[in-house]
Structure 1
Amino acid sequence: MSTRRQLPEAMLFDLDGTLFQTETLLLPAYHATFDELKAKGIYTGETPPEERILGALGMLLEHIWMRVMPDSSPEVHREADQLLIHHQLQGLIEGRGVLYEGVAETLQTLHDKGVRLFVASNGLESYVKEVIAAKGLAPLFENLYSAGEYQTRSKVDLVKMLLETHGIQNAWMVGDRSSDVEAGLRNNLTVVACDYAGFREAGELEGAHIRIGHFTELLDYLA
């Protein structure tokens, strides 16, 4: 039985693995990126396993590439950045990528209840904004915060900036990785852990106040 909590002033959402089924857009772009890196002669060998990048979702981009191809230079990592975002944005134009079931309807319900909605993501600015726009969610969000736009070194810092900028006193942080849990706890927010993406490692969601197995369950915890 869920313990209901007072309606918060705002909710902050991670994007990948929380609102957006990232792999439906990411994996085709990932393979296209490595095909190009090989064609340019700056990467040799097999494309790294998909599990490497899926397991790194939620990290800052520089940390993702260190995990995916640790033996490559920073210059190759930067080139991979550019190629990956290009192929992802092209995929959005072509209609690839889907939201998790119930996301649009649940966000609309929260918006109708007067909850201020924000995105707080470690992704690139163009990626975050284009996903939200392409999936028709932009009118529901007051603002979109990304590490790419604000050059923050951690999600803790990104969330702190968001709260201070918008004068928010009472909010929930909703996400699927340890970085989301940490960002919420260190900013004194109620933390909702999304346990449905499958990208996390054991123990990542420890410390969360609420854990949900489907996005629509968020509404079950509201008084």
Structure 2
Amino acid sequence: MERTQNKLTKPEAMIFDMDGTLFMTETLLLPAYHRTFERLREEKLYMGETPPEQAVLSCLGMLLDDIWRKIIPDASEAARQRANELLLELQLEDLKQHHSKLYPGVLETLTELNRRGVRLFVASNGLEHYVKGVARAHQIFPLFEAVYSAGEYETASKVDLVKLLLDQHKIHNAWMVGDRSSDVEAGKKNGQTVVGCAYAGFGNGQELDGADVLIADFKELLKLYDEAE
């Protein structure tokens, strides 16, 4: 799958979203999500039923505070804060059990891009320990020059996070690679090329409008890079 208007320029760097781009989020998220609500009910912080899985999957890419406000809008601030803590704690526990997965071809493609001299980065709206924990558990952490998260840098949007990354590492020509509208916005508002990942299916049909090119398989990145001028 490709949708591109112009010939792409070879980038000096690629900046990757984590959830829905490199990482099959649902393999880690959904078991922890259900256990989070079990614990919230045990602790009497939230007594309603667990919201449908689609509620959380449709929020991927958003900042965590916004996610909980959308999923449990009537819950107390204490309940939302505890949900944050529990979800992170349970996901980090499960990471150690090696139950989660990267998308097919991610490790091999990143390794090859790294070998070809492309500078690789992560920019995620997630929490620092989660984002770095996923990268370490799946043995891709050493391939990245730096891993940026909204949780670590306390940025208000992915636009700000990517601008910080570009400025700190003096990058002028990058590809922003991601699956959500926030990734498209972060790339475009910072003047970069956007590669939209259309394989996760967490967003709506317009999620990747504005991307320069769409890929249906992560491994297509290598071909795009080789064909870029």
TM-score tier by shorter-chain length is: over 0.9
**Among 48, 67, 74, the residue aligned to 1:64:** 67
Cα deviation, residue 138, structure 1: 1.1
Cα deviation, residue 219, structure 1: 1.4
2:86 matched residue in structure 1: 83
- Asked if 1 retains the 8 angstrom alpha-carbon contact of 2:45 and 2:78, the reply is no
**Among 31, 34, 37, the residue aligned to 2:37:** 34
Query: Which residue type is aligned with residue 122 of structure 1?
Result: N
CA distance in 2, matches of 1:137, 1:219: 17
TM-score, normalised to structure 1, is: 0.98
Cα deviation, residue 176, structure 1: 0.2
| 1:145-177 Cα distance to aligned partner (Å, 9 max, x none) | 000000000000000000000000100000000
**Among 96, 105, 110, the residue aligned to 2:108:** 105
TM-score, normalised to structure 2, is: 0.95
CA distance in 2, matches of 1:32, 1:164: 40
Q: Identity over the aligned pairs, expressed in percent? A: 58
| 1:169-202 Cα distance to aligned partner (Å, 9 max, x none) | 1000000000000000000100000001010112
| 1:40-62 Cα distance to aligned partner (Å, 9 max, x none) | 11111211100000000000001
1:13 matched residue in structure 2: 16
Listed as ranges, the gaps of 5+ residues in structure 1 are none
Cα deviation, residue 110, structure 1: 0.5
RMSD (Å) for aligned C-alpha atoms = 1.1
Query: Which residue type is aligned with residue 46 of structure 1?
Result: E
- Asked if 2 retains the 8 angstrom alpha-carbon contact of 1:193 and 1:208, the reply is yes
**Among 175, 180, 194, the residue aligned to 1:177:** 180
| 1:55-94 Cα distance to aligned partner (Å, 9 max, x none) | 0000000110011111112211110000000000000011
